[in-house]
């Protein structure tokens, strides 16, 4: 089904690639961003240049009031938002004994609170239409753990638990809820990854954001109607 798609944190990296791929599949795309206005505008321009439809929407998913206000405005459009990609996230890495409370709160508020703030207002409209796709971007860090990322791993693991539980609540309404767990992807977040870590990837390369986007686009399609409650890794075999 072709509906509007909301992609959070879509001004660059994996989020930008997802927004472009969903637009190529025919979805009018809402490109969410928190601060990178130029990046979001570039994504919108690229989608429009390719013949798609997109609009930028500035709000911080960690801010409940701002998110609700933005979603209220977006839902005023009679065209439904049937695809939601919870991609917004951030890293504040540090060894756990040196990790500040702020670093802990920032990461969990963006990933977990952000999931709640964005997903909850969109669920009932999906239930009423009896169709929807909710896809959250988790991480290999949630599955295997990474030194210096206790906060990030905890936040991304929380998304997996939320995904599996929400999938059970919504399956009878023809709404699927899945998570994608990327490994090392060639984006800004992978900058500075030591060569010794890259050498552990069986596929012998970093993944591409476009490859993650292709998986998300499949999960958003009608072909994936019987896939729900799943966590799908895309990591070149690095498990």
Calculate mean pLDDT across residues 197-204: 86
Calculate mean pLDDT across residues 20-32: 98
Where residue 190 falls among pLDDT bands split at 50, 70, 90?
low
Catalytic residue among 107, 152, 167, 228: 152
Q: What is the mean pLDDT of the chain?
A: 95
For 137-179, the pLDDT digits (tens) are: 999 999 998 899 999 999 999 999 999 999 999 999 999 999 9
Residue 152 designated active-site: yes
Where residue 52 falls among pLDDT bands split at 50, 70, 90?
very high
Q: Domain for residue 225, yes or no?
A: yes
Q: Domain for residue 238, yes or no?
A: no
Confidence (pLDDT) at 44: 98
Q: Domain for residue 42, yes or no?
A: yes
Q: Residue 68: which residues within 8 A CB-CB, separation 6 or more?
A: 117, 121
For 122-145, the pLDDT digits (tens) are: 999 999 999 999 999 999 999 998
Element (H, E) at 135: strand 132-137
Q: Residue 100: which residues within 8 A CB-CB, separation 6 or more?
A: 92, 94
Comparing CA positions, the residue from 29, 25, 41, 225 lying closest to residue 133 is 225
**How many domains does one find in the chain?**
1
Indicate if the pLDDT at residue 192 is higher than 80.
no
Q: Domain for residue 179, yes or no?
A: yes
Calculate mean pLDDT across residues 27-35: 98
Confidence (pLDDT) at 187: 87
Indicate if the pLDDT at residue 117 is higher than 80.
yes
Report the percentage of the chain scoring pLDDT > 90: 90
Confidence (pLDDT) at 69: 98
In this structure, what token pair is assigned to residue 112? Answer: 């977990």
Calculate mean pLDDT across residues 185-206: 81
Q: Could you tell me the residue range of the domain that residue 114 belongs to?
A: 4-233
pTM confidence score: 0.95
Q: Domain for residue 239, yes or no?
A: no
CATH of the domain at 206: 3.40.50.720
Comparing CA positions, the residue from 65, 62, 66, 75 lying closest to residue 6 is 75
Where residue 189 falls among pLDDT bands split at 50, 70, 90?
confident
CB 5, CB 82: distance < 8 Å:
yes
Where residue 238 falls among pLDDT bands split at 50, 70, 90?
confident
């Amino acid at each position: 089904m072709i509906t509007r798609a909301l992609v959070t944190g879509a001004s660059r990296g994996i989020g930008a690639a997802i927004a472009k791929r969903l637009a190529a599949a025919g979805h009018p795309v809402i490109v969410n961003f928190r601060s990178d206005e130029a990046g979001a505008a570039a994504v919108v321009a690229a989608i429009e240049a390719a013949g798609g439809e997109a609009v930028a929407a500035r709000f911080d998913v960690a801010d409940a009031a701002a998110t609700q206000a933005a979603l209220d405005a977006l839902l005023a459009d009679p065209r439904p938002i049937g695809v939601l990609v919870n991609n917004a996230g951030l890293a504040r890495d540090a060894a756990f004994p040196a990790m500040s409370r702020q670093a802990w709160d920032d990461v969990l508020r963006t990933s977990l609170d952000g999931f709640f703030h964005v997903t909850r207002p969109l669920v009932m409209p999906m239930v009423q239409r009896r169709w929807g796709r909710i896809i959250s971007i988790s991480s290999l860090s949630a599955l295997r753990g990474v030194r210096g990322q206790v906060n990030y791993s905890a936040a991304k693991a929380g998304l997996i638990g939320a995904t599996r539980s929400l999938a059970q609540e919504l399956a009878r309404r023809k709404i699927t809820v899945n998570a994608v767990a990327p490994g090392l992807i060639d984006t800004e977040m992978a900058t500075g990854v030591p060569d010794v870590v890259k050498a552990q990837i069986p596929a012998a390369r970093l993944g591409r954001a476009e490859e993650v986007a292709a998986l998300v686009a499949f999960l958003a399609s009608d072909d994936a109607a019987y896939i729900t409650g799943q966590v799908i890794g895309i990591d070149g075999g690095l498990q």
